[in-house]
């Protein structure tokens, strides 16, 4: 009985790595010469301020007198400030209210505009309109709406149904929810536009099959829209968390941190350190602590939502 010898397996040829001469002839040097200036400019304007901020956080300076190297004293001073805990709690309270009240509204607005399917361009423009109003002008207008007297815009409207008048920005309990109400109005439209763009990628066959099966709008939203937008929703939630922890303009212009520090936030405290107390070292130290916290929050958020975003 003869045995047939199997043909030896073909050994793949290993292509030799190109040497310096081959890299040069392939345009490698030209690519490096083109990329180096771009990288240096990017590093100077992007990472330069970060490095300078880290150095400034270890100094005591008002940017006028010569800087004095104090090491970690700025961080010790900031962490021992009795007002820091109140500012942190106020910032977290704003972030919580913005997530509970303000986060679902853009999704609802985008779904509603997407379901109307007629005159969607007009509805998109109306939804985005608050985003093009300058924040300072919009806040000054809303301060008129928040007039605590019975002649105020909101108090007049609520008086029609027998409610009010409410103190709004003059009340420790109502000041932060009032600011969240404005922030939701100002930011919902631009966020809704992002969701509307994401909804355009959802397969229409899924909606058609659901309609044939008799699914109503809420079942379509829960079983089709939300799962299809899962990735976008997670990214927007993280961006909103980062943005809300950096809230400054609204409490600064609405209340200045009052009443009785009820709307004092982390960034407002940084502003007071720098431009009221003239201590830019302490302001930068608190900024570094905030940046470290937001970086840690982003890492925890990523790993906490990684499985759900990929399921």
- The domains of the chain are located at 73-310
Q: Per-residue pLDDT for 1 more than 50?
A: no
Are the C-beta atoms of residues 201 and 276 closer than 8 Å to each other? no
Q: Per-residue pLDDT for 10 more than 60?
A: no
pTM, entire model: 0.82
Residue-wise pLDDT for 111-127, tens only, equals: 888 777 677 778 788 88
Q: How far apart are CA 116 and CA 123, in angstroms?
A: 9
Averaged pLDDT score across all residues of the chain: 85
Q: Per-residue pLDDT for 296 more than 70?
A: yes
pLDDT (average), residues 275-292 = 92
Are the C-beta atoms of residues 172 and 259 closer than 8 Å to each other? yes
Residue-wise pLDDT for 120-173, tens only, equals: 778 788 888 888 889 899 999 999 999 998 888 999 999 999 887 899 999 999
More confidently predicted of 219 and 107: 107
Reported as a pLDDT band with limits 50, 70 and 90, residue 288 is very high
Q: Which SS3 state, helix, strand or coil, does residue 65 take?
A: coil
Topology of 73-310 in CATH? MetI-like fold (1.10.3720)
């Amino acid at each position: 009985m003869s045995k047939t010898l199997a043909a030896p397996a073909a050994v793949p040829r290993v292509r030799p790595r190109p040497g310096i001469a081959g890299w040069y002839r392939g345009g490698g040097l030209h690519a490096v010469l083109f990329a180096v200036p771009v990288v240096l400019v990017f590093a100077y304007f992007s990472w330069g301020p970060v490095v300078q901020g880290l150095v400034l956080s270890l100094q005591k300076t008002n940017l006028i007198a010569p800087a004095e190297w104090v090491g970690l004293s700025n961080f010790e001073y900031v962490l021992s400030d009795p007002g820091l805990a109140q500012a942190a709690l106020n910032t977290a309270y704003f972030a919580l209210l913005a997530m509970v009240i303000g986060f679902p509204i853009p999704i609802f607005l985008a779904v509603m505009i997407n379901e109307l399917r007629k005159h969607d361009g007009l509805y998109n423009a109306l939804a985005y309109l608050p985003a093009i109003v300058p924040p300072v002008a919009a806040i000054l207008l809303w301060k008129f709406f928040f007039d605590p007297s019975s002649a105020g815009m909101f108090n007049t409207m609520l008086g029609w149904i027998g409610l009010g008048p409410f103190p709004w920005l003059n009340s420790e309990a109502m000041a932060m929810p009032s600011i969240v109400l404005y922030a939701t109005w100002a930011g919902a439209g631009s966020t809704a536009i992002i969701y509307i763009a994401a909804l355009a990628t959802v397969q229409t066959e899924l909606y058609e099959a659901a309609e044939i099966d008799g699914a109503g709008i809420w079942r379509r939203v829960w079983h089709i829209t939300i799962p299809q937008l899962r990735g976008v929703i997670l990214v927007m939630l993280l961006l909103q968390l980062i943005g809300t922890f950096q809230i400054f303009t609204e409490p600064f212009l609405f209340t200045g941190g009052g009443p009785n520090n009820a709307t004092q936030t982390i960034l407002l405290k940084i502003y007071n350190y720098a431009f009221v107390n003239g201590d830019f070292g302490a302001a930068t130290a608190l900024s570094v602590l905030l940046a470290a916290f937001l970086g840690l929050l982003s890492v925890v958020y990523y790993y906490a939502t990684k499985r759900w975003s990929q399921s």
